[in-house]
């Protein structure tokens, strides 16, 4: 969830001045990024319990987004914006797929008959 929230933030901060102004109120109401202390706790838990693949992808995602947070103006041209958003979207997709695979959430459970044998 934190990674998705960070992606939404990148879309917001890399938008044009006009678009950001139009999105400002909606973004403020829907911003799901964790407060700094909670984000730090999540990072610490991830460092302890996440697999090396998940940790690596998470670090890569935030390494890509950090320059945008430091100087968002550098990423407001269409070319720069699309490049950073494309890279982070790819990393986010890989991160979600890895987590789903590790939790076996990508497997469809076998279909079972209802407890009454299907007679309703």
Tens digits of residue pLDDT in 91-117 = 999 999 999 899 888 777 777 766 666
Q: What is the pLDDT of residue 119?
A: 60
Place of tokens 């950073």: 84
Show the beta-strand stretches assigned E in the chain: none
Q: What is the pLDDT of residue 11?
A: 92
Q: Express each pLDDT in 8-53 by its tens digit.
A: 999 999 999 999 999 999 999 999 999 989 988 988 888 889 999 9
Residue 49 counted as domain residue = yes
Cα separation, 42 vs 3, whole angstroms: 11
Domain membership of residue 51 as a residue range = 2-102
Residue 109 counted as domain residue = no
Residue 117 counted as domain residue = no
What's the domain count of the chain?
1
Please compute the mean of the pLDDT values over residues 69-87 and round it to a whole number.
Answer: 92
Under the banding of pLDDT at 50, 70 and 90, the label for residue 81 is: very high
Q: What is the pLDDT of residue 69?
A: 87
């Amino acid at each position: 969830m934190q990674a998705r929230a960070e992606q939404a933030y990148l879309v917001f901060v890399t938008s044009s001045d006009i678009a950001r102004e139009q999105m400002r109120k909606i973004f403020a109401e829907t911003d799901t990024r964790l407060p700094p202390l909670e984000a730090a706790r999540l990072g610490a838990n991830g460092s302890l319990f996440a697999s090396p693949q998940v940790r690596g992808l998470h670090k890569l995602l935030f390494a890509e987004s950090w320059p945008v947070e430091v100087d968002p103006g550098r990423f407001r041209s269409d070319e720069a914006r699309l490049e950073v958003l494309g890279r982070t979207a790819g990393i986010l997709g890989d991160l979600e797929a890895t987590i789903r695979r590790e939790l076996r959430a990508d497997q469809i459970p076998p279909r079972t008959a209802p407890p009454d044998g299907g007679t309703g």
